[in-house]
Copies of this chain bind each other. A is one copy, B any other.
């Protein structure tokens, strides 16, 4: 059942039927009612492809995910983000178009999305410190919202980020207050803006107390469980091991925990752990009281909000860039305690 058939059936023109269905004012209420009822009973839904072509809008938002051998974009954190974003999209009749691309031609993928008109806008995931995607999208004129920020980027753009620096500064201060001095950092790749900022917060807290950053205690890599495990093993084996470790995500924190326990040490006593908790729905940091002391900010909420911001921008393209900086909350769980006496 298409528009022509429906309008023939009703003895009306396609124009009128289309207008009735789309809520235009130049159609009598009685007619509108007749049309909507007929559409209902005959199960008419406008063809998306035709509608897209006519309106120039696709009602879909692109998410480009690079598939690289060395860095996994698609992970638990990502899936919670898209769950949130997807929820926001659904509420406004959008949906999400995910294209997986080889990371060598990620730029081309964005270009293609823009020139072929597949999407009305995109979300930029995992921005690097000086991310080239931002000027590119700016140039392409495709609306976008960055989840995170990109330092050194001069072009104006909309973003939503958690205050990673203050979160890690706060976590580090918390440990310092407990008397810890040897504090390890298990971070994500530091080309990524969020990881760089987290390291910076960590560094600032230490330096404020006159403690130098020990390169032996700071590690940056893909945030997997085995990475947390391996680096913790390495640090604990050293002559001057850390008494506390900060992990950039719950997942490597699980590895940290495994390494600590395997060594027969007790968490929160021999070694304290703080992690950044994205409040993943499938991997919650405990249900009642938190397992790990953590700085927490829901990535799902972030997804939801990024989606909203982007749709707003698409709907009103004249509006300027919007920024939101969220503070992470510090939740104290059982994984931290006073530094052990020497």
A contact residues vs B (CB 8 Å cutoff): 43, 45-50, 52-53, 56, 58, 60, 65, 67, 72, 74-76, 78-80, 82-83, 86-87, 89-90, 95-102, 112, 115-118, 223-226, 230, 251, 254, 258, 261, 281-284, 286-287, 291
Contacts and interface: CB of A to CB of B under 8 A. Distances in A.
9 contacts: A48-B117, A52-B53, A67-B90, A75-B76, A89-B99, A89-B100, A90-B100, A95-B118, A96-B98
A102 B118 CA distance: 25
Contacts of A258: 291
- Main SS of chain A's interface residues? mixed
Nearest to A43: B115
A268 to B, nearest CB: 12
Contacts of A65: 83, 86
Contact of A97 (B72, B97, B223): B97
Given A58-B49, A74-B80, A79-B76, A283 B117 contact: no
A290 to B, nearest CB: 11
B79 A75 contact: yes
A249 B261 CA distance: 22
A281 B86 contact: no
A53 B47 CA distance: 9
